[in-house]
Amino acid sequence: MLLGGTISTPPASLRLKSTLNPQNAVTQSSQAAFPAAMQRKPPSYSISDEDLKSRGFLLRRTPEGLNLDQLNSVFVAVGFPRRDTAKIEVALEHTDALLWVEYEKTRRPVAFARATGDGVFNAIIWDVVVDPSFQSCGLGKAVMERLIEDLQAKGICNIALYSEPRVLGFYRPLGFVSDPDGIKGMVFIRKQRNKK
């Protein structure tokens, strides 16, 4: 999704270069049946959960406790339009995976991302935001690394997102590539009727 601004032209499409072979996917529930040498290794994050917690950041994977007005303030701070909180609530009900970071001192959300999809093959990551006061301290990368890991643990190997060109460099080190294998993203834009 866009990190800021509105869509006036179709945004660049990115797809995660798969690191998980769907033919050999191992889910967490089935790992116990495999010898230790064949199990997936624990993820290696740029910032550990313990380090985040020591800095006052709490990781959340459910919308429980998420103040939607405060989340909306983060959206607006990065350039998204203000959203109807009732619609945000509906969007969260249809979200397959999400991760947000709460700053312990203020109990406010400071980073957020979510994914929707079919739950098996495909997912699209939306609404990646970090409060401008907390940018450049690794929260965006921390959220993305964990969201990607959560999706891959479900066996999902086709992960896409939309991004403004100015932030493509943020996603590339995470494994995303523009137009892999010549795939081009397309966006349906509803024609607006002329108002008289």
Q: Is 171 a catalytic residue?
A: yes
Q: Which of 45, 103, 162, 171 is catalytic?
A: 171
3-state secondary structure 50-61: HHHHHCCEEEEC
CA–CA gap between residue 168 and residue 147 (Å, rounded): 18
Measured CA to CA in angstroms, residue 163 lies from 3, 158, 186 at distances of 7, 16, 13
Burial class of 26 by CB neighbour count within 10 A (0 to 12, 13 to 18, 19+): middle
One-letter identity of residue 25: A
**End-to-end CA distance of the chain, in Å?**
33
Tell whether the torsion through CA atoms of 84, 140, 163 and 113 is positive or negative.
negative
What string of DSSP letters covers 70-112?
Answer: HHHHHHHHTTPPP--HHHHHHHHHT-SEEEEEEETTTTEEEEE
Positions marked active-site: 171
